[in-house]
Chain A
Amino acid sequence: MVRLITHNLLACHAKGCTSNNFPLQFKDVQVELREAEFNPDFLRGFIPRLEWGALVDAARQLGDTSLPAEPPEMLDVEFLQKLHHVLLEVHVEEGAMICPNCNHVYPISNGIPNMLLAEHEIG
């Protein structure tokens, strides 16, 4: 699955591609929504680790505009539930992720992103 929790960590690693290589842009995606168990303590601990702007952007690409441009100071349950949904319940099953810098295409099939590089693309 590429959920946005994973997308927020992935970066292009093709040879020579070391700047502007994050976040990868979604293309031609098929999305499935699946309920996941809500764990507010995990989310509170995890928020400082997120690249927030990249998360908001990626969510918009997938049609979800529920997140504010900046994380709020008060982490109330209503906000945490929105974040939970965006991070952990939206599954990109098919499609691709494209590097904003070098346009390398990382395909997603059956929910699994293919981050392998061909021999000549390895840095």
Chain B
Amino acid sequence: MPAVQAVTVSTDPQVYEDEHVHSVYDEIAPHFSSTRYKPWPIIAQFLSSLPTGWVGLDSGTGNGKYLPLPQDRPGSVWTIGLDRSRNLLEIAQNAGDIRREVVWGNVLERPWRAGSFDYAISIATIHHLSTPARRKLATQRIIESISPYHGRALIYVWAVEQDELSKRNLPADSSPNNKATDRAPAKGQDVFVPWVLSPQATGKTRAKNAASQNAEETAERSKVFNRYYHMFAQGELRQLVGEAALELGLVVSSPNEMKDGNGDSLIHGLEIVQDGWERSNYYIEIRRWECIS
């Protein structure tokens, strides 16, 4: 597998993401989808914990692999998938061989009534946005989409810290900003992650004697697509969510810590329920609340 390489985002971020994220996913959609079928445990757990009757948003749904969940109570909640890649949506539309609800849209926009969802998930999506401001905006769109009284959300992004099982070869990085022990804000790393589309995967293999297909020939006809990722440093996701919430006028805290007021102000807040690292990714679970303090 070709190595992950460090990159610098230099052009207009929208143009950059069009080239290095959106058009890549449109090209590799079927092959990509065939490799993405196993739900990650913490996400499956989150979706299993939702009350029956809730409706949710999967922001950056990809091939829609989370739309059929929870596995133990199918149909007890309804998740609607949003994605920028039309070709991935065509696949997500039939995830789990049942018709799903999918919407072609941008995670930086909010084509919904504010607060209309009970929950949201954003899995492996925000790391495709190429500036801190855009990652924060996408986070704010998620926060705005869920109920201000009880809305819950789970966000997953790729981590600089990779486990030994990861197939990726990472660039040697000497930047001190990636070290968790630093006092300076964690900055993460911008990289290209290659996707190798073999001729078999594209379905364009010529009828040919298999014996004559040596490895070199295969490599020649494979096409490599470089996807842009921002790999998150330790603490960076939590910081991003905190800043996004503060800018929206939310108190970042647990509602239990708000009981000391004199009962005359209405406070809107956001609680970080849990955050951590799982299988080379950082995740954060949040909950919105309102209370009188």
List of B residues within 8 angstroms of A51 by Cβ: 113
A112 adjacent to B112 (CB under 8 Å): no
CA separation between A6 and B112, bound complex, in Å?
9
- Is A42 a contact of B52 with CB atoms below 8 Å? yes
Contact of B104 among A12, A43, A47, A112 (CB under 8 A): A112
Taking the complex as formed, is B99 at the interface, i.e. its CB lies under 8 A from any CB of chain A? Answer: yes
In the complex, per-residue mask of A27-56: 1 if CB is within 8 Å of any chain B CB, else 0: 000000010110101111111010100000
Give the Cβ gap from A80 to chain B, nearest Cβ, in Å.
Answer: 12
Cβ of A116 and Cβ of B105 under 8 Å apart?
yes
In the complex, what residues of B have CB within 8 A of residue A11's CB? 111-113
Known: A45-B54, A46-B78, A49-B118. A5 touches B101 (CB 8 A): yes
Inter-chain CA distance A44–B77, complex, in Å, is: 11
For residue B51, which residues in chain A have a CB less than 8 angstroms away from its CB? 45
The reply to whether A45 and B111 form a contact with Cβ atoms under 8 Å apart is no
B103 partner, pick from A12, A34, A41, A113, beta carbons under 8 A: A113
Given contacts A11-B113, A91-B99, contact A5 B78 (CB under 8 A): yes
Are B105 and A42 in contact, with the CB atoms below 8 A?
no
Would you call B125 an interface residue if the criterion is a C-beta within 8 Å of the partner chain's C-beta atoms?
no
* Contact-size category for A: 35 or more
A67 CB-CB contact with B under 8 Å: no
Q: Give the distance to chain A from B56, nearest Cβ to Cβ, in Å.
A: 10
Q: Looking at A34, A42, A44, A119, which has the most chain B CB atoms within 10 Å of its CB?
A: A42
Determine if A9 is an interface residue (Cβ-Cβ < 8 Å): yes
Q: Is the CB of A110 within 8 A of B105?
A: no
- A116: chain B residues at CB < 8 Å are 84, 104-106, 109
- Asked if B117 is an interface residue, CB under 8 A from chain A, the answer is yes
> Which of chain B's residues have a CB closer than 8 A to the CB of A6?
80, 101, 103
- The one of A10, A41, A114 in contact with B112, judged by C-beta atoms closer than 8 angstroms, is A10
Instruction: Check if B90 is an interface residue, CB within 8 A of chain A.
Output: yes
Q: Find chain A residues with CB under 8 A from B117 CB.
A: 9
Interface residues of A in 77-123 (CB under 8 A from B): 91, 106, 110-117, 119, 122
Is B154's beta carbon under 8 Å from chain A? no
CB distance from B68 to the nearest CB of A (A): 12
Contact with B along A1-36 (1 / 0, CB 8 A): 111011001111100000000100000000000101
Given contacts A47-B53, A112-B86, A114-B104, 13 further A-B contacts (CB under 8 A): A1-B93, A3-B101, A5-B55, A6-B101, A13-B112, A43-B53, A44-B53, A46-B53, A49-B53, A49-B116, A51-B113, A115-B103, A117-B109
- Residues of B near any A CB (own CB < 8 A): 14, 51-55, 75-78, 80, 84, 86, 89-90, 93, 98-106, 108-113, 116-118
Question: Using a CB–CB distance below 8 Å, which chain A residues touch chain B?
Answer: 1-3, 5-6, 9-13, 22, 34, 36-37, 39, 41-47, 49, 51, 91, 106, 110-117, 119, 122
**Would you mind naming 15 contact pairs between A and B with Cβ atoms under 8 Å apart?**
A1-B100, A5-B55, A6-B101, A9-B55, A10-B103, A12-B111, A36-B98, A42-B53, A42-B78, A45-B51, A49-B53, A115-B109, A116-B84, A116-B109, A122-B109
